[in-house]
Amino acid sequence: MVVAKGVAEIMNDVASPAQIAETIGSPPDDEERQPARSAARCARHKPRIVIVGGGFAGLAAAHALRHADAEVVLIDRRNHHIFQPLLYQVATAVLSPAEIAAPIRQLEVKQKNLSVMLAEVTGVDVASRTIEASFPEISVRKIAFDYLVVATGMRPSYFGHDEFARYAPGLKSLSDAETIRAKILGAFELAETTDDEDERARQMTFVLVGAGPTGVELAASLAQMVRVTLSGNFRRIDPSKSAIILLDAANRVLPTFVEPLSRRVTRRLANLGVKVMTGVTVETIDEHGVIAGGTRIPSATVLWTAGVAASPVPKMLGGKTDRAGRALVDPFLNVVDASGVFVAGDAASVMQNEHPVPGVAQAAIQEGRYVGRLIANDLKGRKVERPFSYFDKGNMAVVGKNYAVLERGRLRTSGFLTWFVWAFVHILSLPQLQNRLRVQRQWLWSYFTGQRSSRLIPEPPRTPGTETR
């Protein structure tokens, strides 16, 4: 018997909500957990574990279940996994999208108990233990589960000003990165062709809102692009005279790092030509630029690297959420009063020693692995006594060529050696061998030549018959 079922078979054996609710109910405590789940899988030979999200946490959970005697279903609205820490390099043309992404099916091709579905979850009914998933070109279908793992990650948050999104794209997906890359490169093309000096200055002014790791890394990479990569490429403008402004309402950059490292990063950014403005609140973003601290900053390219919020899925679970929409979970990453429903990664609000676990890749991987192992043990009838414990391997941020900062406990370093460690760790962490080889080769080429191979502006779609030359 083949363990992994096809999409059609998985959806066909889903009972109606009424049938499922009648047989399962909503188990109030651990004593009723096994009978309830046995009823839920009434028509199936194996228990079904549904994982929503193919990011770091989702893949880690799936991998931890590779030996489980169960049917594992991973659902994601994208067919690929993104190595988020290097997304800013796609946005600044250092790398191409394929170099930091990999098809989810290829990553899990050897896991025979896993099925992958390209769909978007639009509803969750914990009582009847079903989810609603919208498939491309297909109507919404219901899928039953015995265990549910939500690992849907985060999305940009504009702090109640969603109208900013039209003018200031965030950076959470490959399409976001390609949009930003096109805006940056297109701004220089427009600056080259205009005869209006004010418009030229506006096109060559880049404003980044948010001075966390993403904002710092993006600003530094952009600064190197205008000073090195684009040097000599234009006849009427000098890209090195571009204005790069990094704004944040906090009183310093990298507020999650200790203050001495923050000061070093600020000096490094200044040396690269980035103007840092902290303690400044953005009031308006429109087609003309930004109003921050009561001052208008004309800019054609505004990038949002500030807050994030959880996807809508955690709220569908019916439990409590924090202000960012992340699900509040118990020490075992289980949603309170929803037995067998777990949340991992950025979608979960996890506390440890009265401090929140940071929303970084290493935390998501550890949480996903923990949940997968917990479910695997539960399937064998073993009760897990040890709650989730986050092991902090340290935080890093790169600030241009040859410079990075590291903080791990009392260890705080910066400079070239830290940058080398950062590069080594990130290459090893890429999802596939081909990603590692391609990124290593591209980094070596860019390091010694200063060139970037992905300086592409997508051509807009054209209506057939209207092409001109």
Q: Which residues carry out catalysis?
A: 217
Counting every residue, how long is the chain? 469
C-alpha distance from residue 198 to each of 190, 352, 374, 442 (Å): 12, 52, 60, 36
Residue owning tokens 């705080």? 412
* Coil, helix or strand at residue 382: coil
- What single-letter DSSP state applies at residue 70? S
Query: Between β-strands 355-356 and 48-52, what pairing exists: parallel, antiparallel or unpaired?
Result: unpaired
For helices 361-379 and 56-64, what crossing angle results, to 10°? 30
How far is Cα of residue 366 from the mean position of the Cα atoms in its chain? 16
* Nearest in space to 345 (alpha carbons), one of 147, 60, 145: 60
At 172, the amino acid letter reads K
C-alpha count within 13 angstroms, C-beta hemisphere, residue 226 = 24
Query: Do residues 92 and 74 lie in contact, with contact meaning Cβ atoms separated by under 8 Å?
Result: no
Provide φ and ψ at 286, rounded to 5°: -145, -170
* Nearest in space to 183 (alpha carbons), one of 93, 301, 306, 289: 301
Measured CA to CA, the distance from residue 27 to residue 41 in angstroms comes to: 15
Q: Which tokens hold the place of 392?
A: 């902090």
At 70, the amino acid letter reads A
Measured CA to CA, the distance from residue 4 to residue 136 in angstroms comes to: 21
Q: Which tokens hold the place of 8?
A: 């059609």
C-alpha distance from residue 295 to each of 77, 138, 283, 287 (Å): 40, 49, 9, 15
Helix or strand holding residue 448 (H, E): helix 433-449
Query: Do residues 20 and 129 lie in contact, with contact meaning Cβ atoms separated by under 8 Å?
Result: yes
> Helix, strand, coil % (nearest 5) of the chain?
35, 25, 40
* Nearest in space to 339 (alpha carbons), one of 51, 23, 33, 49: 33
H, E, C per residue of 346-376 = HHEECEECCEECCCCHHHHHHHHHHHHHHHH
Measured CA to CA, the distance from residue 76 to residue 59 in angstroms comes to: 11
